[in-house]
Amino acid sequence: MRYIRLHKIFIAQYLKKLMEYKADFLLGAIGLLLTQVFQLAFLGIIFSQIPALIGWSFQEILFIYGFSLIAKTLDHLFTDNLWMVGYRIIRKGEFDKYLTRPINTLYHVIAENFCVDALGEMLTCILLLAYSIPSLDMPFHWYTIPLWIVVAVFATLIYTSLKIMTAAISFWTKASGHITHMLYMTNDFSKYPVSIYNKFVQTVITYVIPFAFTAYFPASYFLTGNNPWFCIGGTVIAGTVLFALALFIWHKGLSAYESAGS
């Protein structure tokens, strides 16, 4: 309860800050929106020449693409400050501050910043889903909407956990932003059906860096109703396991933290 109250306060503070830097946030959001628009233009050009991409129609591809943005956007919106841990906070000794506060350090770091720029991606996400879903004949049950929510939460956890783990590396190495970057970039693989990749890539994005569970697997379940246990269960398990591992590494890291300067 207390943390929810705190979160409200942090968001309120953040919105005040936002008002001060309106232009910056607007430009950032436009930039992210534009990136998505060009990506979609690319897909549009491809589908002007072929009817389907190894069995997936344009609408289905757009659905998977849009679906992949749900977790990415939520993670981007709420936990963007984790990037700063690996890039700056540890190296410059700014982490001291969090350790002198009577709240969970990980929570504090995450809550301190929101990235409203992510709204640019969120807009794309909503437009894509709203455009593709009506033309797709997707199975719908009473539990479909609760499942969407479950998937959104655990898929976001996959993103966030990977960022926590790689950020925590900087407790030992002082800086790890580049490692976060390297792992994070594999999320782009999840925008397309995994069947387009070779076995090696499929294995990696399913079992090692399970970004496939943030988009393709759950999206394919919602499209076809097939494989619920693997597609949804996998997302829940991957999110849970990764999050537990992330918390463990973070806490190990805290005791290895050496601050900076004399």
Partner 1 sequence: MSRIKRFFRTYKPFTRAGVQEMVAYRANFICFFIGEIMSAFIMYFVWKAVFLSSGSKTFMGFTMEDMVVYLFISFLTDYLTYSDGAFAVGEEIVEGSIAMRMIRPCSFEMSFLFQEIGNRLISAAMIFAPMVVGVEIYRYAIAGVVRFHPGYFLIYIASMLIAYMISFYFNVCYGFMAFFFKNLWGTSLIKETLVSFLSGGMIPLAFLPSGLAAVLNFLPFASLRYTPIMIYMGMYSPSEIAWRMGLQVFWLVVMFALSKLIWHSAVKHLSVQGG
Partner 2 sequence: MENMIIAENLRKEFKKVIKEPGVKGAVKALFKPKKEIVTAVDDISFTVPKGEILGFIGPNGAGKSTVIKMLTGILMPTAGFCRINGKIPQEDRKNYVREIGVVFGQRTQLWWDLALRETYAVLKEIYQVPDEQYKKRMAFLNEVLELDSFITSPVRTLSLGQRMRADIAASLLHSPKVLFLDEPTIGLDVVVKENIRSAIKKINEEEGTTVILTTHDLADIELLCERIVMIDKGRKVFDGAISDLKHNFGDVRTLEFELVNGPDFKLLDYNRRFKLTQDDIHAERDGSMARVRFDTAKVSVENVVSYTLSTVHVKDLNIKDVEIEEIIKKLYRREVSL
Q: For partner 1, what does the binding mask look like between residues 191 and 210, x meaning CB under 8 A? A: xx---xxx--x---------
Should residue 130 be labelled a site residue for partner 1 when binding is judged by CB under 8 A?
no
Should residue 63 be labelled a site residue for partner 1 when binding is judged by CB under 8 A?
no
Could you tell me the smallest distance in angstroms from the CB atom of residue 90 to partner 2? Answer: 12
Indicate which of partner 2, partner 1, none lies near residue 259 (CB less than 5 to 8 Å, by partner kind).
Answer: partner 2
Q: For partner 1, what does the binding mask look like between residues 15 and 54, x meaning CB under 8 A? A: --------xxxxxxxxxx-xx--xx-xx--xx--xxxxxx
Could you tell me the smallest distance in angstroms from the CB atom of residue 211 to partner 1? Answer: 11
Could you tell me the smallest distance in angstroms from the CB atom of residue 154 to partner 1? Answer: 24
Give the chain as a DSSP string.
-HHHHHHHHHHHHHHHHHHHTHHHHHHHHHHHHHHHHHHHHHHHHHHTT-SEETTEEHHHHHHHHHHHHHHHHHHHHHHTHHHHIIIIITTTTTTHHHHTSSS-HHHHHHHT---GGGHHHHHHHHHHHHHHGGGS-----TTHHHHHHHHHHHHHHHHHHHHHHHHHTHHHHS--HHHHHHHHHGGGGGGS-GGGS-HHHHHIIIIIS-GGGGTHHHHHHHHH---HIIIIIHHHHHHHHHHHHHHHHHHHHHHH---S--
Indicate which of partner 2, partner 1, none lies near residue 198 (CB less than 5 to 8 Å, by partner kind).
Answer: partner 1
Site of interaction with partner 1 (CB under 8 A): 23-32, 34-35, 38-39, 41-42, 45-46, 49-54, 117, 175, 177-179, 181-186, 188-189, 191-192, 196-198, 201
